[in-house]
């Protein structure tokens, strides 16, 4: 089963896992929720849209959340932001809320790649593991077109934002930021060979997959 195999390959432990980066974070949260055995809470430390088809709890207290997880194996919860329709962070510690608490802890505005400002990502202190999603669809494209905060990404490489994202440049930024315990190289549909090369350049363990086509290398 793809979902369970992915959770195992990423080493998702019981407790709190933070999901950061770009190029499939929200899809990864939902996919992991399907593959994990036990109760799952989907939430955020930044902003996230509610998940279609899943029970949604708005500003729940801990008792309400616990009661919902007695009825539903997977729930999404957060504090609503009326202006955007998105959810923001729950106002209490995340430890012990569910068997697995999956937290979207980064914003990327839909871009496959990201350069992180000093205050990012917003990893909860309770996190037992951090997974960084990297969208390989950004490879060989200009930094300014495929990276959230392209000026930060480019500055780390001492190049211009109009220059291309090569595998070596992407690896250099990921190695320099060193934000995660494991990296998920997603959107590998057209980049299987390059993904293997990129894995060899990274200092952090990496898993290659297509969340869209549901396969792992």
Nearest to 187 by CA among 29, 30, 22, 35: 22
3-state SS, residue 22:
coil
- Which pLDDT score, from 0 to 100, does residue 201 have? 97
pLDDT confidence tier of residue 83, bands split at 50, 70 and 90: confident
| Strand runs labelled E in 23-82 | 40-44, 56-58, 74-81
Spatial distance between the Cα atoms of 214 and 208, rounded to a whole number of angstroms: 11
206-215 pLDDT, tens per residue?
Answer: 999 999 999 9
Annotate 203-215 with DSSP letters as a single string.
SS-EEEEETTTTE
pLDDT confidence tier of residue 145, bands split at 50, 70 and 90: very high
Instruction: Return the H-helix or E-strand segment holding 21.
Output: strand 15-21
Looking at residues 34-59, what average pLDDT do you find?
Answer: 96
* Exposed e or buried b per residue across 113-132, where buried means at least 16 C-beta atoms within 10 angstroms of its C-beta: bbbbeeebbbbbeebebbbb
- Which pLDDT score, from 0 to 100, does residue 217 have? 92
Largest CA distance in the chain: 53
3-state SS, residue 216:
strand
pLDDT at 101 over 90: yes
All domains in the chain, ordered by first residue: 2-216 (3.40.50)
What is the pTM assigned to this prediction? 0.96
Question: What percent of the chain lies above the pLDDT cut of 70?
Answer: 100
157-172 pLDDT, tens per residue?
Answer: 999 999 999 999 999 9
Q: Which two tokens stand for residue 172?
A: 């250099």
| Contacts for 187 with CB less than 8 Å, ≥ 6 apart | 23, 24, 112, 135, 136, 137, 210, 211, 212
């Amino acid at each position: 089963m793809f979902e369970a195999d992915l959770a195992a390959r990423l080493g998702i432990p019981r407790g709190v896992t933070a999901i950061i980066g770009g190029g499939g974070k929200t899809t990864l949260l939902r996919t992991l929720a399907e593959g994990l055995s036990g109760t799952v809470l989907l939430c955020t430390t930044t902003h996230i849209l509610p998940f279609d088809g899943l029970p949604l709890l708005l500003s729940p207290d801990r008792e309400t959340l616990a009661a919902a997880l007695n009825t539903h194996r997977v729930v999404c919860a957060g504090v609503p932001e009326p202006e955007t329709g998105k959810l923001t962070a729950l106002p209490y510690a995340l430890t012990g809320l569910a068997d697995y608490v999956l937290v979207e802890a980064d914003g990327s505005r839909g871009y496959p790649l990201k350069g992180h400002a000093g205050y990012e990502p917003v990893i909860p202190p309770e996190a037992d593991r951090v997974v960084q999603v990297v969208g390989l669809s950004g490879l060989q494209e200009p930094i300014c077109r495929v990276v959230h905060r392209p000026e930060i990404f480019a500055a780390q490489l001492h190049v211009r934002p109009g220059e291309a994202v090569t595998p070596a440049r992407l690896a250099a930024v990921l190695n320099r930021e060193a934000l995660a315990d494991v990296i998920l190289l997603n959107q590998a549909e057209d980049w299987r060979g390059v993904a293997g090369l990129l894995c060899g350049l990274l200092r952090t363990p990496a898993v290659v997959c297509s969340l869209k086509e549901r396969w792992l290398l």
